[in-house]
Structure 1
């Protein structure tokens, strides 16, 4: 009996790599198949369209993002330490890209949000859900604070902005600096909202 084909998994991995490297629009089906070592006919056996593969890639990225958040925001540190660690993990990922490829690649979910939100409503809605889940995870770390949802939105905005700037400058160090800033903002917010003794 032959082994179960891993062609679908290879197509998803190939799609992830090409979408992250050059964006959705530049990643053609033939290129995805060639990179995966899969015939084009097999692609359409697993996926009805490139968009269907794109959504499978989004699901995989969502899973990876959830694991990263769980690790970075684990409750073994005070809130500001956990938020700083989230930025550190993001910096480590970009440092790895820089070492392996010579370039900071940016956040794949952030890149797809910038590229696809005005192009495909299904992608936009999925990406919005992922971003809102991320905000919810951050909010659980920093609550109870006044306006904790807005604060969580601000922290995610600072993180994604830092990754974008790191990509523009090809330097992940900015992500760590913004992590330190996010921690300081949290500490200042906590002290300013604490009741007097």
Structure 2
């Protein structure tokens, strides 16, 4: 009889280890290719690529353009109101937070416009480095930079400097873009309603 913890159990354990070590080759399939497994796995599980491009004909960009147009119209109204010194001296403190808010919107507009997708030789370009390069080399980038140049500190220090926000009027070209986009959207709606 084998005693617990005796030689019989130790022999069984050694025999089991020996059998398992001999059968290691049987556990691995013979058609297993070590070097190609990563390539096969990568092909089956492609990396997630995030597309941060903005479609110029999309509804989100259309709504964003409307917000920028509201900023342009606000600047037109404020410039005409601040031309009067008695109104300017009383209400200048109330206009400054709104001015800052629309200046932030104009800055974010530069970032969004640098992500606008475009067509080059019939191919849609959505890569951020290409869309940024396209925007930076465009005429509108210079206008947008001049439009956000901070002349507003003159308003804080000197209330007689009513027209220091004139550079914000350079963004007026976005009103024309919004009208063109709206016309395109309305045409799409009319075409889809006529098809029924």
Q: Given the two structures, how large is their TM-score scaled by the length of structure 1?
A: 0.28
Q: Given the two structures, how large is their TM-score scaled by the length of structure 2?
A: 0.28
Query: Which of the pair is proportionally richer in helix?
Result: 1
Q: Which has the larger radius of gyration?
A: 2
Highest relative contact order (Cα 8 Å, sep 6+), 1 or 2? 2
